[in-house]
Structure 1
Amino acid sequence: MRWPVLVMVGSLPGGASDGAVGRGGAGAVRLLAVTGRCVVKILISADMEGVTGVTWPDDVLPGHAQWQRFRPVFTGDVNAAIAGFFDGGADEVLVNEAHWSMRNLLLEQLDERARLLTGKHKALSMVEGVQYGDVDGVAFVGYHTGAGTEGVLAHTYLANSLTGVWVNGTRASEGYLNSLVVAEYGVPVVLVTGDDRTCEDAAGYAPGARAVAVKDYVSRYAAVCRPPARTAAEIRAAAREAAALAVRTEPVHGGPFTVEIEFDAEHLVVQAACVPGVEPAGERRVAYTSENMYEAIRCFKTVTTVVSSAVEEQYG
């Protein structure tokens, strides 16, 4: 992807010097030439399991009629967040697709003020774009809880074969993992949407963020849902408030990080241990340690990719 050239007219410690040209380093401040105020850029990481009305695998798996049905709903949740951020004073919104093939949102229906980063094979996957130094706040739209916990379509990267993830002993959802990644760039999580259990999870890793529950958990495959018009209004209002929270801070370097992964079958441990640095760590578990979350999440992606190739057809 080609990123726009930005003119740096000021900086915080660690940023580019006055007049430098580039994407912007960590801590860099961009100013609007007309008003002199700081440019505010939001990155929306858009997943699908936590979208309004979604409760069943067919709702989110490409190729199914239900997936086609929920693509406009997914786009609607994202548009509500985009509108709210612009209402709150944001100048730029970049939406990064973060579900499955990462080609689910309908570009032709997306709010024309935003830009869409779509497609797979991105260095930071779900939070791609945060590493370029010009993002002030991150929103997790359509998120869900982690593997082994209560929540609609709860999982962490792999739907069934991965049964739990822990980082330094704390059980980790995708939201928790991604919050640790963006913290290394000094970027706060300012908005989270999903089911009510997802909002409870977010209170642990982003206590200052605005949260919107678009449905209430009943089981992994059932929820009490609110109509899209209602959830869109709630998401937009929360995003408007969240825009004020988009203020970069000093990067948080909390490493080293020991990541422990539990699978539903022992042969997956053998496969995962093929990845350099990953070792068996007890029954159906592997573990590895990385000095920072950038490396930790990249290793995690590698493990899940290798393991997914070893998941066989269901039987019994």
Structure 2
Amino acid sequence: MKKELNRKSKVRYLKYVLFLLISVVLLSFESRAQKKIYIVTDLEGISGIYRWKQVKPKDTPIYKQSCEFFMADLSAVIKGLKDGGASEIVVLDGHGPQAVLPELMEAGVRYITGTPRPKPLFGLDASFDGIVQVGAHAMRGTSDGVLHHTQSSSGRFRLWYNGVETGEIGMVALMGGYFKVPVIMVSGDAAACREANKFLGNDVTTVVVKEGIAEESAVLYSFDETQRALYEGAKKAMANISNCEIYSIDMPFDARIELTKPDEKHKRIWIKTGTYPSALHAYDIVSEKSKKR
């Protein structure tokens, strides 16, 4: 009888251990499955880019080369996201003149390109698990930011939300916050990554692909190094999604945009202000910037 009880106890124990193992495997699979990522891209924060003529005007040999640099960085990130568990990836071509080269697109990824579009972050909604910003740059006035600007590279715009000066990294994060989607990774120069940590905390994965000296000078890294770092950073970001915070500010929010003269430091030409009901309107004051107040 005692042997029979011991045998039954062992069977029950083995069943319990098997149940736990199956549960762990299923939970692990579930955590990796169906991760939907939205990538917002720009060109100024891409590996090897440090001069304005590399990012505008379009349809020049040097611009085409920049787009090739861009597609290489983007592909490294996409491969890292996929290997980290991303099941669906949507890329938004966020640089004004557009940078996506169709012949270099990764299979199984959807690319949104061309203008105009109905809204700035077209296609972003609450179904996404995370946002990745590839090729980001620092806000206007960042002394060591490569090609630093806010929204318009030709204008001298500066932007504030609730009195806090904010650049494009924060704008994307704020819009993501409306849909409860966190920014999980930012790549760009050291200044852009520093800005990302300031607004989004230390749980966001940042990948530095160059170091700014001034607006059009930088310490560059080899493409092998940056693409390896981008791939590893993307994998890390996927594993850390649950720790990334959703960015938000008090609502309704006050926005302020200024235009300054390019040849006179911080001399204002005009100012526009407005109050908006939710983060869904984060870009409204930018679209209205041509209306002087």
TM-score, normalization: structure 1? 0.75
Correspondence for 2:184: 190
The answer on whether the counterparts of 1:156 and 1:174 sit within 8 Å (CA) in structure 2 is: yes
**Equivalent in 136, 141, 149 of residue 148 of structure 1:** 141
Gaps in structure 1 of 5+ consecutive residues: 1-31, 266-281, 308-316
- Contact persistence 2:174–2:282 (CA under 8 A): no
Q: Deviation per CA, 1:19-40: give whole Å up to 9, x if none.
A: xxxxxxxxxxxxx9xx766510
| Equivalent runs, 1:1-316 vs 2, <5 Å | 38-61=33-56, 62-102=58-98, 104-125=99-120, 127-131=121-125, 133-150=126-143, 151-207=145-201, 208-247=203-242, 252=248, 254-265=250-261, 284-303=270-289
Greater share of helix: 2
Letter in 2 for 1:297: Y
Contact kept? 2:139, 2:150, Cα under 8 Å: yes
| Offset, 1:190 | 0.5
* Post-superposition CA distance 1:88-129 (Å, at most 9, x none): 111111111000133x1112112213111111233442x322
Deviations 1:172-222 (A, max 9, x none): 110111111101111010110000000000001221111011000111001
Shift, 1:257, TM fit: 1.4
Give the distance between the partners of 2:211 and 2:247, measured in 1 at CA: 34
SS of 1:70's partner is helix
Mapped to 2, the partners of 1:96 and 1:110 lie a distance apart of 12
Aligned amino acid, residue 183 of structure 2: V
Contact 1:46 1:140 in 2 (8 A): yes
- The 3 A distance-change label for structure 1 pair 84 and 250 is closer
Change in CA separation of 1:229 and 1:299 when aligned onto 2, cut-off 3 Å: same
Q: Structure 1 250/159 Cα, relative in aligned 2: closer, same or farther at 3 Å?
A: closer
- The offset of 1:260, in angstroms, is 1.0
Give the counterpart letter for 2:41 in structure 1. Answer: A
Give 5+ residue unaligned stretches, structure 2. Answer: 1-25, 262-267
C-alpha distance in 2, partners of 1:152/1:88?
29
Q: CA deviation at 1:252?
A: 4.8
Q: Kindly tell me: are residues 233 and 49 of structure 1, through their superposed partners in 2, closer, same or farther at Cα, counting changes over 3 Å?
A: same
What residue identity is the alignment partner of 2:149? Answer: H
CA distance in structure 2 between the aligned counterparts of 1:292 and 1:165, rounded to whole angstroms: 17
Q: Which amino acid aligns with 1:141?
A: V
Q: How far does residue 77 in structure 1 lie from its aligned partner after superposition?
A: 0.6
Q: Deviations over 1:245-286 (max 9, x none)?
A: 335988957311111111125xxxxxxxxxxxxxxxx87322
**Taking structure 1 as reference, are residues 147 and 249 closer, same or farther at Cα in structure 2, changes over 3 Å only?**
closer
Distance 1:172 1:113, change over 3 A: same
1:105 is paired with a residue whose SS is coil
CA contact (8 A) 1:165 1:260 kept: yes
TM-score (norm 2): 0.80
1:163, CA displacement in angstroms?
A: 3.5
Q: Secondary structure at the match of 2:136?
A: coil
For 1:141 and 1:152, locate their aligned partners in 2 and report how far apart those are by CA, in whole Å: 15
Aligned equivalents of 1:188, 1:100: Cα separation in 2: 24
On the 8 A contact 1:43/1:130 being kept in 2, the answer is yes
SS in 2 for 1:116: strand
The answer to which of 109-118 and 190-199 deviates more is 109-118
> Superposition RMSD on alpha carbons, in Å?
2.2
Identical counterparts, % of pairs: 26
Distance in 2, matches of 1:186 and 1:258, equals 21
- Give the aligned residue type for 1:257: F
C-alpha contact 1:124 1:294 (8 A) present in aligned 2:
no
Alpha-carbon distance between aligned partners in 1 of 2:149 and 2:245, rounded to the nearest angstrom: 30
